[in-house]
Each structure stands twice: as C-alpha cells, then as structure tokens.
Structure 1
C-alpha cells in the first residue's frame, strides 16, 4: 500500500483541525442597541433605519452558534425551508424582540439571513433555531435586558456615560447563579474621541444542548472594542437622511461630549 506524500498528509490534518475548530459548543445570544446600529448604518451610507427607532429596549441581532473559544461558526446553510410554513405561527412573537431595523430589510429578510449565516451551523432544524430564540428571550425575569440597565441607574442619554464595569454588573443581574462572563461591543463616537464610546451589542452565552442555561462566554473571543478606561454611552436616535451623514455624526458626537460637563463627578473621574 502506497504511503501518502507528506504534504497531502499535512493538508488532511489541517482540514481535520479546521472542521474540529468549527464544531459548535455554545450559543451566543447577541442583543444590539438600536440607536447605535442606526448611527453606524447612516455613517456608512448603507441605508436608513425604520422610524421610530427603538430607544428603550435592546433588540436581537441574532442567535449564533460558536466554538468553545466563543468564535461564531461559518458553514454551508444548504437548502432553505418553507419560510411561510415556518414563520406563520411564530412571526408575531419574533417581531416583538427581533425586528429588522433597516428600511430596506423586512423582518423575514433578517431572520432568513440569520439562519443562513449562523443558525444552520448549530446542528438544529430551522424550527428548533427560531423556537430557541423565543425560549431564550423569555428567560430574563425582568424581560428586556434594558430593564436590568435601568434598575441599575443606567439609562439612554445624550449627556450621561458609565464605566464598563457598571454596565457589565447590571447585565449580570440576569443570572441567578454567580456572575458569568458576557461580551460588550462598542463603536467610537468620532475619530477624535478616545474617552467615550457608544454601546453597540451585548452578548449572553447559553449551553448548546438546549439553550436554556446561561454559561460564561469564553474569554478567548472577548471583544476589545469597549476599552476598560472609556466611558460608555447609550445614545438616543439621531436624525437620518442627511446629505453628509458622516459629518453630521461627527458634529453630533462632539456636541454630546461638550454636554458631558453635566456628568456626575464620580463618572468624570472613572
């Protein structure tokens, strides 16, 4: 029997490692702050958000299978299911916490995209995937995650900002067990500002087997876009449809920073 050349053995080994590294180990439940999403969308001149833009709730970005390090998994989604048959009984509930924020993207467009990009990689059927999103949405005792922020004194504001650790601790009140690791992502307010950022997304992690038990998000894939030393703001929606959105966003960001003089002293010194 002929032996395989060394380089073929190496290729096969790398393929095996790649497949293993793409094995789902957990689910990431990724929530986004709609005004930040819309600021980002408008600044990139990729479209407009639907009005009114939600500003008192975090909405679902997606339910993303991830490997044991917390990295989202990519895969071939295969054939689409019968979307009308799938969404018919659950559409009204999905839209309450998983709306499409873009004018040019319907709710079904968003859900179908999330299934193809992420859901198909988790070893579940489309029905199981969307039922799991509904189930996880019902898990927090206080309902929407924004309620946990508000009860900790963290509100949407154009003049208030908060230390990262305060937001993390507020979110961790979702858990009945000891504090678990979560992910926060942020975007810059403008290129000149290094002291404040906008909250973009909050990620909770659940076990893959049934998605009904929170676990710590792995530290290996923890994002770094919310610097520990920067204060985090939850902005209100901004005006849309401007001739130069990027310039207006920069100006608005500067105006908001000028109003930060009203911040409590403990936050200014954090």
Structure 2
C-alpha cells in the first residue's frame, strides 16, 4: 500500500475512533438530575404572574415539582433531545400522583399536556439512563423522599406570611433531607423577596439524592430574610 493508501487508512481509523468516543459520550453524558420543587403560594403570588389551577381545583398546600432536569458531564442543561411525541395515555397509572406532585399552574391551563411538554423538553435528554415511565416515576419517588414542607415545619418554619432567615431555611432542609439545597426567590406584588424554589440533585439513575455537582449563581437571588407566604 502506498503513502496515499496509508494516509487514507490512518484518517479512517481516526474518524472511527472519534465516532466511538462521540457515541460513548452520548450514552454516558448524563451526570445528574436537578429536582426543582416550587412553593405554589409564591408562584401564584409573584409579581406579574397569573396562576390558573388545574381541572381538579386548588391543591392542598405543598411544594410541587417544577422540573426534573438532566445535567451533562460537559456542564450543560440540555433540552429537546428528541422528536418524541409523547402519548400521555401511558401515564394513566401515575396520573393521580402526578396531579398532586407535578401539576401545571400556567395560564391558560394545559392540564395533561404539561407532562407531554416536560418529557419532550427534558425527559428525552435522559433516555440513556431513564425511559419514559421511569423518568416520571423517579421524579415522584425523589419528591416523596425530599419532603421540603415537612423539613421546614420540623424547624418551626411554616407558610404563615412571616419572614425567615435564608440561612435557617437552608439549615432546616439540609438537616432533615441530608443535602444542601439551592434556594431561589421571586418577588410578590409588594416587591418582597419570598421563598419560591428549592432544588436538590439526584444521581444519573434518578434513584438517590446526591450533592449537586454545580450550583448556578445569579438566578433568583434571595434577601437575607424572605417571606414564606400562605397558600
């Protein structure tokens, strides 16, 4: 084989090697999941936002799932990783749990289509680790383990329109659940900082809570004392 043949062979080997690496990264790129829970009292009371209850009516006071977001090894939060048109009928066995733990409060109310949106936008990026039903099951199971409202109540922090120190909120969640939370706040119509979202992380299989590999800065910053509004 001549020099040109050797050169071509070398290029082919390099190309195939890179292709294998790329495929490997695709399958192993998922590093963690971010389980984001929101306090509905703050969502419905935030400045400039209208809240629409689901068809089942106003739920009982609790933190509900805002999102279950995959996080990749390259430091990105990917989305829209496939062209799946999810059949929401597959979720029928989980629907009663989803209505309580993962409802939509956007206006206009989209009901069950919300879960289709969540799968298509975020769930499709976890397919190397979790399939369609396991994705939702994992989020529901983790939310049950990470009972934020119970963690706060155990420390005397309750949704009573009072102000609590941000440090005491973080400390209560950490002591009860065992992992440091990432807290985000929004502002009510009076411009007061209030507790909105609590984020904890899970391993790439969505089975157990872990320390978050990365805590984003500069989003939803909180005052030193924040309101915990009633709902």
Q: TM-score, normalised by structure 1?
A: 0.66
User: What stretches of structure 1 of length at least 5 have no aligned partner?
Assistant: 4-11, 238-270
Q: Does the C-alpha gap of structure 1 residues 217 and 138 become closer, same or farther in structure 2, counting only changes over 3 Å?
A: same
Structure-1 residue corresponding to 2:77? 72
The one of 209, 226, 231 equivalent to 1:232 is 226
The answer to whether the Cα contact below 8 Å between 2:42 and 2:188 also exists between their aligned partners in 1 is no
- 1:60-209 alignment to 2 at 5 Å? 60-68=65-73, 71-84=76-89, 86-102=90-106, 104-123=108-127, 124-140=130-146, 144-158=147-161, 160-175=162-177, 179-189=178-188, 196-209=192-205
2:208 to 213, 236, 244: 213
Output one character per residue of 1:94-142: Cα deviation in whole Å (capped at 9) or x when no partner: 21211222352233121111111111111232112112122223324xx
User: Matched residue of 1:102: which SS?
Assistant: coil
- In the other structure, the counterpart of 2:15 is none
Contact persistence 1:69–1:220 (CA under 8 A): no
Rate the CA distance shift 1:147–1:122 in 2: closer, same or farther, 3 A. Answer: same
Q: Shift of the alpha carbon at 1:78?
A: 1.5
In structure 2, C-alpha distance between the alignment counterparts of 1:131 and 1:161, rounded to whole Å: 34
User: What CA RMSD, in Å, does the superposition of the two structures yield over aligned residues?
Assistant: 3.0
TM-score, normalised with respect to structure 2: 0.76
Runs of 4+ with >4 A deviation:
51-55, 68-71
- Tell me: CA distance 1:98–1:204, structure 2 relative to 1, closer, same or farther (3 Å): same
1:70 Cα deviation from its structure 2 partner: 6.4
Kindly indicate which of the two structures has a greater share of residues assigned to strand. 2
1:197 to 1:54, Cα distance in 2 relative to 1, 3 A: farther
Alpha-carbon distance between aligned partners in 2 of 1:187 and 1:62, rounded to the nearest angstrom? 17
Say if 1:54 and 1:157 are closer, same or farther in 2 by CA, change over 3 A: farther
1:65 Cα shift?
A: 0.7
